[in-house]
Amino acid sequence: MNNYLIKYARLVDFLGQVLGKNSEVVLHDVKDLTHSIVAIANGEVSGRKVGGPATDLVIDIIKNKKYRGKNYLCNYTGYTDSGVPLKSSTFFLQDDRG
């Protein structure tokens, strides 16, 4: 795991406990989109686990640079692999290089 992200892995577990079992919290390292999930809480919501790939949504955010000039995206609809809709939000953690 990227050293920059290590300190956030504990936050994933904390938020998972605070938000409850119906809320999935995921930390991605976008340097390897095929294995981007480096920490996850309540992964049973979507069936994802550590070592899993980025979703199409994450790839779209990166490809279209939707993170530029923003700290987060809130309350949009995401989907599980099986098509179940999820209320989703994303917080961008960026190092000095953006």
Total count of domains within the chain: 1
Q: What Å distances lie between residue 70 and 12, 29, 61, 64, CA to CA?
A: 21, 18, 11, 13
- Find the domain containing 35 and state its range: 3-67
How many C-beta neighbours within 10 Å does residue 49 have?
10
Has residue 98 got a pLDDT over 70?
Answer: no
Query: Given this model, what pLDDT does residue 51 score?
Result: 97
Does residue 94 lie in a domain region?
Answer: no
Q: What Å distances lie between residue 20 and 14, 24, 40, 46, CA to CA?
A: 10, 8, 13, 14
How many C-beta neighbours within 10 Å does residue 8 have?
15
Does residue 38 lie in a domain region?
Answer: yes
For residue 38, the SS3 value is: strand
Express each pLDDT in 20-75 by its tens digit.
999 999 999 999 999 999 999 999 999 999 999 999 989 999 999 988 889 999 99
Does residue 12 lie in a domain region?
Answer: yes
pTM of this structure: 0.88
Does residue 51 lie in a domain region?
Answer: yes
Does residue 44 lie in a domain region?
Answer: yes
Does residue 17 lie in a domain region?
Answer: yes
Does residue 48 lie in a domain region?
Answer: yes
